[in-house]
């Protein structure tokens, strides 16, 4: 995220939108990038055309300019306010902008970009180690439910704030798990002499270190994955166990699985 300290402006938002929908961009519905939506009502609906449900209707075009100006002023003023919790600020940023729905298309993407900007400003860091947009997309159903409950209420957005903070916590956990996995992989290879191994054994270990076969790999899976005979697959796995790189499960026969060994520091 660039220009953390630059004031947010309508021009900046529209420039982002123009990059999403450059001139000549066409899909099923051509979108003109770099401009606010037209006079048509903006609704979020589901269901069939003749039996649709309106989940939300954005503010009319008549008030959009002033409402968007209020949002931008608040975003800039709240950044310098030490009393304002920065995570709640990010949550309110997301809710406010997506509720305004000021663009013909791409509102979700611009909203997630603004959310990332607010979080980056909170951390004073242009690159966050976690991915809030990924966590939002992974919880899309509950995301829309929390939005709808708060958008149709009486300006009490507690449900939304709780959902946002819980999802942000989930994003933190996912990022920490990835960091732990990367550290484990680095330490694992540091203790392994790859000259003792075949290329197939190295590839399988690398796949397992990347999170594949989290319940362990079987001889049959090794045989199919590496395109070697079953006796060769058995020998390769037995060697990895003998070297201390894999651990063989107690179950016998086809239920036998081989999992990564955890070295003692």
pLDDT at 212 over 60: yes
pLDDT at 251 over 90: no
Residue of 17, 94, 101, 236 marked catalytic: 101
* Average pLDDT of the segment spanning 80-85: 89
Are 67 and 37 spatial neighbours (Cβ–Cβ below 8 Å)?
no
Please state the domain extents for the chain. Answer: 10-176, 191-260
Q: What is the mean pLDDT of the chain?
A: 89
Which segments are annotated as binding site for ATP? Answer: 105-112, 143-144
pLDDT at 29 over 90: no
pLDDT at 78 over 90: yes
**Alpha-carbon span 113 to 111, nearest angstrom:** 5
Sign of CA dihedral 107, 108, 113, 119: positive
**Has 223 been annotated as catalytic?**
no
**Tens-digit pLDDT profile for residues 172-196:** 998 898 888 899 999 999 999 899 9
pLDDT at 168 over 60: yes
**Tens-digit pLDDT profile for residues 36-69:** 998 887 877 766 666 777 777 888 989 999 999 9
Could you report how far apart the first and last alpha carbons of the chain are, in Å?
A: 38
DSSP β-ladder status, 51-57 and 43-48: antiparallel
Q: Return the CATH number of the domain spanning residue range 10-176.
A: 1.10.3290.10
pLDDT of residue 62: 92
> Which residues on neighbouring strands pair with residue 43, listed in sequence order?
57
Architecture of domain 191-260 in this structure: Orthogonal Bundle (1.10)
Task: Name the token pair of 228.
Answer: 């070697």
């Amino acid at each position: 995220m660039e220009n953390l300290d630059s004031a947010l402006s309508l021009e900046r938002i529209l420039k982002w939108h123009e990059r999403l929908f450059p001139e000549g961009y066409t899909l099923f519905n051509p979108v003109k990038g770099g401009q606010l939506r037209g006079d048509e009502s903006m609704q979020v609906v589901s269901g069939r055309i003749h039996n649709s449900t309106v989940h939300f209707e954005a503010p009319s075009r008549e008030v959009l300019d002033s409402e968007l100006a209020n949002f931008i002023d608040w975003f800039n003023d709240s950044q310098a306010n030490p009393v304002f919790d920065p995570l709640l600020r990010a949550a309110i940023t997301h809710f406010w902008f997506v509720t305004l729905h000021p663009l013909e298309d791409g509102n979700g993407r611009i909203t997630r970009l603004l959310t990332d900007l607010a979080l980056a400003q909170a951390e004073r860091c242009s690159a966050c180690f976690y991915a809030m947009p990924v966590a939002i997309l992974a919880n899309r159903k509950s995301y829309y439910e929390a939005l709808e409950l708060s958008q149709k209420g009486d300006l009490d957005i507690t449900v939304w704030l709780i959902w946002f903070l819980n999802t942000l916590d989930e994003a933190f956990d996912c990022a920490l798990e990835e960091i732990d996995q990367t550290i484990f992989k680095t330490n694992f290879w540091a203790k392994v002499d790859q000259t003792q191994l075949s290329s197939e054994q190295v590839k399988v270990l690398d796949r397992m270190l990347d999170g594949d076969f989290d319940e362990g790999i079987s001889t049959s899976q090794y045989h199919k994955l590496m395109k070697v005979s079953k006796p060769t697959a058995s020998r390769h796995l037995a060697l990895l166990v003998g070297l201390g790189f894999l651990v063989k499960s107690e179950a016998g026969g086809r239920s036998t699985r081989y999992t990564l060994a955890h070295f003692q520091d």
